[in-house]
Amino acid sequence: MKVKALIEFFDLKESVLREIGDVFDVSEERFKEILVNGGEWLEEIEGSEDTPPETEEPEGDVSTETEEPGGDGNGEEATKGKAAAKGPRGK
């Protein structure tokens, strides 16, 4: 089932900090365990009862790199901008 964190807490079973608004999968048993041991830290997202908890890492190539706006990825735009900022003498 999918749940949403209502407060920030450290999930001891998953060793991860859950921040307010985080949506993640848990089993119904784990959902009840968190409610009993910690309180109402989570809310179930409606229509998610049949969603199995995630147990595997996502597959495929996951890139986290980002390009600077206006650049072509090789740094030329940044170089042009710096040269223009040096002034008329080019120093």
Amino acid at 39: G
* pLDDT computed for residue 40 by the predictor: 86
Mark the ranges of the chain whose per-residue pLDDT is less than 50.
51, 55-58, 63-64, 79-81, 84
Q: Quote the radius of gyration of the chain (alpha carbons, Å).
A: 23
Tokens found for residue 16: 């991860």
Nearest to 18 by CA among 29, 34, 33: 34
* pLDDT computed for residue 69 by the predictor: 58
Q: How far apart are CA 14 and CA 71, in angstroms?
A: 39
Tokens found for residue 72: 């072509």
Q: How far apart are CA 22 and CA 71, in angstroms?
A: 33
